[in-house]
Amino acid sequence: MEPYAAADQVWAGGLIFARVGAMLMTIPGVGEAYVPPRIRLSMALVISIALAPVVVGYLPPLPATMGGVAGWVIREVATGLMIGALLRMMLSALATAGEIVSLQTTLAFAQTANPFQAQPGSTLAAFLTLLGVTLIFATDTHHLFIAGLAGSYEVIPPVSPLLLNDFAAMAVRTVGDSFLLGVQLAAPVLVFSMIFNLASGLVGRVMPQFQIFFATAPLSIILGLSVFALSLGVVGTVFIERFRTLAMGFTGGAGG
């Protein structure tokens, strides 16, 4: 092996590192705020070296000017951020489901620090988000991230124009799908809450002197959390399948 790297090799490694590093800074799990930046950058460097022989054929030649170099680097960073942002948008479905369940079980005031959103949120939302990240690693879905890094050079080649319009449309669709998925995941608790509130209202109308609120508030919490616990397995299965479908969209031919 040669004891030095040629300019073309440094250029190829740096361009791959720009996309890989940007994606690893935003994807769920690895891109969380509590993961030290040195860990993420080290992983990006190792993955870039491993991917270099596979994707070097997709890279443009070394530009003759510094402006051209900066333009290509900015483009690759933007591409990595877009891919990572789409994956993180889908993770917000669990936060949406947790907030809906908290509202229906009167636990919305139980706020806690959510490390995945970098802001306070309901306890159930933080729990579901943590469950989603755990499922990503437990089901080896994070392997799709690496396959997606290689496959993204087929789906979004560096030499092709940056498809900002397509990304904007896909981002809007992903946000809508994630919100819809969050409502669907919380559907069992929503159905229970509707039936329970109708029954409570009927009892309140039939027996006006009965303190319906003090009797139904504990039952709403206990029964609502019971329904939530019984549906937790289905929630995790449906979410991870939808998340894998989104991640596989970037694998191209590398996922096989």
The answer to whether residue 253 sits within a structural domain is no
Give the model confidence (pLDDT) of 137-156 as tens digits. Answer: 888 888 887 777 887 888 78
**pLDDT band with cut points at 50, 70 and 90 for residue 183:** very high
Answer whether residue 91 is part of any domain. yes
Q: Is-contact 85 172, C-beta < 8 A?
A: no
Q: 76 and 15 in contact (C-beta within 8 Å)?
A: yes
pLDDT in tens, 93-117: 888 898 888 888 877 776 666 665 5
Per the structure, how many domains does the chain have?
1
254 located within any domain? no
**Residue 60 maps to a domain:** yes
Please report the DSSP string for 122-169 in residue order: EHHHHHHHHHHHHHHHHTTTHHHHHHHHHHHHHHS-TTSPP-HHHHHH
**Both tokens of residue 11?**
């250029």
Which structure tokens are listed for 59? 């890279």
Q: Is 116 part of a structural domain of the chain?
A: yes
**pLDDT score for 148:** 76
Domain that holds residue 111: 7-248
* Domain-located, residue 188: yes
Residue 1 counted as domain residue: no
Mean pLDDT on 183-201: 89
Query: Does a structural domain hold residue 79?
Result: yes
pLDDT at 119 over 70: no
What is the mean predicted confidence (pLDDT) over 205-223?
81
